[in-house]
């Protein structure tokens, strides 16, 4: 069994995590030639010509240090060998609930400086800004403290963030458990005949989240809407028929995201066969996640396996290898197999080595979000899908391979939109850990 997988979470896990973050930062600062690191949590942004703010999302490089996700105008200042400083913004506010006093297992690891106005941070940070790497958006700047976001340092930190600590894996497992509760509730709401909006509400209630808590805009697609990969609406209208539900929805715990997709049907035999076939291939692909495997090769294998599904279900009469070579498989599977996940849903450094050098995607596959070689500690999504997208099907129908397609089957299945099954898989030094399937098994 993997060492990373077998390590039980303990109260010391956060301390161990922080030690790893510090060690990685020490190496990155030395590599980039800086003396210290300053990280802004971010600022609250106002809508254009309005007095209402956008929902705040913390800088992921800030969240990597400690589980503060709602704290804008705060900062971390770290000098190697010294206790990190946390500039903690706690306004005296009666319009909104201000942050509570610092509390949690992380508190004892920081030199905490409370400020009540954002500008007060400058007096603490400006003396530390000389030869500092300052990470943040331009609008986080203070007098004497201007973000410079050194590429070498960010590339190094981003690369290392792919390798999750036991503390991070525990947070990600918790996020899985919340999300699968939401998915079970959404499935039941679909079967009860709810609208997309009602299904989304059921998901949120099941996951214990609000719309502003989820890590991304939930995709809740009924019927043909499942053919739009990032379908962004949630209709309040109940459709005449509930043929299918494709729901791509996650949860978040202390800044760590989950990202799960499931597809449900109404009992139609052809669509049921399609869902079951994609699910079978998804489980096979997830089971093959191993250290040393080039994720690009797994993506191409996914095309071949989905091509076999198209052939076995008599949707396309063509050799799977030929489907891949000619781009026919991309008509039905136009996105990538998956992506890294962690502090961000589409976590950073899926395409680069430790020096920020781009690792290219396979030719003809522009939407793949992961090109690195898998290694212990990485968590990636495995999300094959087959869709009936009108604009892509029109191109296929007008092209040289139209005769290989059973258009009557395509017409029937198009009413169901498409199928996607997505799990998160932890690469270990042995057999992979399927975080999503484990969470569903716990639920049942």
Q: What is the mean pLDDT of residues 391-401?
A: 98
> What average pLDDT score do residues 335-363 get?
95
What percent of the chain has pLDDT above 90?
97
Question: Which has the closest alpha carbon to 292: 375, 354, 351?
Answer: 375
Residue whose token pair is 């007095």: 51
**Residue 8 above 80 pLDDT?**
no
**pTM check: above 0.85:** yes
Beta-strand runs (E) in 144-225 = 219-222
DSSP3 helix / strand / coil % (the chain, rounded to 5): 40, 15, 45
* DSSP label at residue 128: G
For residues 82-103, average pLDDT: 95
Is residue 4 scored above 80 in pLDDT?
A: no
Give the whole-number percent of the chain exceeding pLDDT 70.
Answer: 98
Structure confidence at residue 441 (pLDDT): 97
Handedness of CA 234, 238, 240, 244 (dihedral sign): positive
Query: Whats the size of the chain, residue-wise?
Result: 444
Quick check: 3 pLDDT over 80? Answer: no
Q: Can you list the pairs that 145-152 forms with residues at least 24 positions away whose Cβ atoms lie under 8 Å?
A: 145/38, 145/121, 147/40, 150/32, 150/34, 151/356, 152/28, 152/31, 152/32, 152/355, 152/356
d(CA 218, CA 120): 38
Cβ–Cβ < 8 Å for 261, 422: yes
SS3 state at 286: helix
Dihedral sign from CA coordinates of 42, 46, 51, 53: negative
DSSP E strands in 210-345: the ranges are 219-222, 244-249, 252-253, 256-257, 260-265
Phi, psi for residue 236 in degrees, rounded to 5: -85, -5
**Cα dihedral 297, 298, 300, 303 in deg (nearest 10):** 170
What pLDDT score does 122 carry?
Answer: 98
pLDDT at 11: 67
Burial track 28-43 (b if 16+ CB lie within 10 A, e otherwise): bbeebebebbbbbbbb
- Looking at residue 444, what is its pLDDT? 79
- For the stretch 181-237, pLDDT in tens is 999 999 999 999 999 999 999 999 999 999 999 999 999 999 999 999 999 999 999
pLDDT tier for residue 1 given thresholds of 50, 70 and 90:
very low
Q: By the 8 A CB rule, do 383 and 420 touch?
A: yes
Closest CA to 326 of 399, 409, 410, 389: 399
Question: Range with the lowest mean pLDDT among 11-20, 262-271, 381-390?
Answer: 11-20
332 neighbors 413 (Cβ within 8 angstroms):
no
Report residue 360 as tokens.
Answer: 């290219």
Structure tokens at 182: 């939401």
- Range scoring the smallest mean pLDDT among 55-64, 91-100, 411-420: 91-100
Q: How far apart are CA 391 and CA 402, in angstroms?
A: 14
Q: What pLDDT is recorded for position 182?
A: 98
Give the contacts of 208 (CB within 8 A, at least 6 positions apart). Answer: 178, 181, 251
Q: What are phi and psi of 385, to 5 degrees?
A: -155, 155
The reported pLDDT for the residue numbered 12 is: 87
Residue 414 has pLDDT above 80, yes or no: yes
The span from the CA of 216 to the CA of 404, in Å, is 38
pLDDT in tens, 66-85: 999 999 999 999 999 999 99
Q: What is the pLDDT of residues 136-171, one digit of tens each?
A: 999 999 999 999 999 999 999 999 999 999 999 999
* Torsion of the alpha carbons at 3, 432, 425 and 225, rounded to the nearest 10: -170
Q: Taking all residues of the chain, what is their mean pLDDT, rounded to a whole number?
A: 96
Cβ 116 vs Cβ 92: under 8 Å = yes
Whole-angstrom Cα distance, residue 51 to residue 53? 7
Evaluate whether 302 touches 336 at the Cβ level (below 8 Å).
no
Residue 2 token pair: 């993997």
Q: Which two tokens stand for residue 82?
A: 């010294």
Q: Which residues, in sequence order, are CB contacts of 312 under 8 Å at separation 6+?
A: 277
pLDDT tens-digit series, residues 31-66: 999 999 999 999 999 999 999 999 999 999 999 999
Backbone angles phi, psi at 54, to 5 degrees: -70, 155
State how far the Cα of 302 lies from the Cα of 308, in Å rounded to an integer: 10
Backbone angles phi, psi at 213, to 5 degrees: -85, -30
Whether the pLDDT of residue 9 is over 60: the answer is no
pLDDT tens-digit readout, 274-325: 999 999 999 999 999 999 999 999 999 999 999 999 999 999 999 999 999 9
pLDDT-derived band of residue 254, with 50, 70 and 90 as boundaries?
Answer: very high
Measured between alpha carbons, how far is 28 from 158 in angstroms, rounded to an integer? 10
Q: Going from the N-terminus, what domains does the chain have, and what CATH number goes with each?
A: 3-161 (3.40.350.10), 166-443 (3.90.230.10)
The neighbour count for residue 329, using CB atoms within 10 Å, is 27
């Amino acid at each position: 069994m993997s060492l990373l997988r077998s390590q039980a979470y303990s109260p010391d896990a956060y301390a161990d995590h922080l030690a790893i973050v510090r060690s990685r930062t020490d190496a990155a600062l030395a590599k980039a030639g800086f003396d210290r690191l300053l990280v802004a949590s971010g600022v609250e942004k106002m809508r254009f010509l309005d007095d209402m703010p956008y929902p705040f999302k913390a800088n992921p490089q800030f969240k990597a240090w400690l589980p503060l996700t709602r704290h804008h105008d705060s900062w971390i200042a770290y000098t190697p060998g010294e206790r990190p400083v946390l500039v903690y913004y706690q306004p005296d506010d009666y319009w909104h609930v201000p942050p509570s006093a610092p509390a949690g297992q992380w508190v004892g690891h920081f030199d905490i400086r409370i400020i009540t106005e954002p500008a007060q941070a400058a007096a603490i940070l400006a003396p530390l800004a000389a030869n500092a790497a300052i990470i943040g958006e331009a609008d986080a700047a203070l007098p004497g403290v201007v973000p410079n976001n050194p590429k070498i340092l960010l590339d190094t930190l981003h690369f290392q963030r792919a390798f999750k600590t036991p503390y991070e894996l525990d947070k990600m497992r918790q996020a899985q458990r919340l999300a699968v509760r939401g998915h079970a509730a959404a499935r039941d709401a679909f079967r009860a005949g709810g609208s997309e909006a009602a299904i989304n509400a059921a998901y949120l209630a099941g996951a214990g989240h609000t719309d502003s808590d989820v890590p991304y805009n939930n995709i809740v697609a009924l019927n043909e809407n499942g053919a739009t990969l990032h379908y962004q609406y949630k209709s309040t209208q109940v459709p005449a028929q509930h043929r299918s539900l494709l729901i791509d929805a996650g949860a978040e715990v202390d800044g760590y995201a989950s990202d799960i997709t499931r597809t449900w049907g109404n009992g139609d035999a052809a669509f049921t066969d399609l869902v079951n076939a994609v699910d079978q291939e998804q489980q096979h692909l997830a089971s093959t996640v191993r250290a040393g495997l080039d994720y690009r090769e797994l993506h191409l294998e996914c095309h071949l396996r989905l091509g076999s599904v198209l052939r076995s279900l008599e949707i396309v009469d063509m050799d799977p290898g030929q489907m891949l070579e000619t781009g026919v498989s991309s008509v039905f599977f136009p996105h990538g197999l998956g992506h890294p996940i962690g502090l961000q849903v589409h976590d950073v450094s899926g395409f680069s080595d430790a020096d920020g050098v781009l690792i290219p995607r396979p030719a003809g596959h522009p939407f793949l979000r992961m090109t690195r070689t898998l290694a212990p500690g990485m968590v990636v999504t495995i999300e094959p899908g087959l869709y009936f997208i009108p604009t892509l099907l029109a191109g296929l129908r007008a092209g040289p391979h139209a005769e290989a397609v059973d258009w009557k089957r395509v017409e029937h299945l198009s009413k169901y939109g498409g199928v996607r099954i997505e799990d998160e898989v932890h690469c270990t030094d042995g057999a992979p850990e399927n975080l999503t399937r484990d969470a569903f098994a716990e639920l049942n």
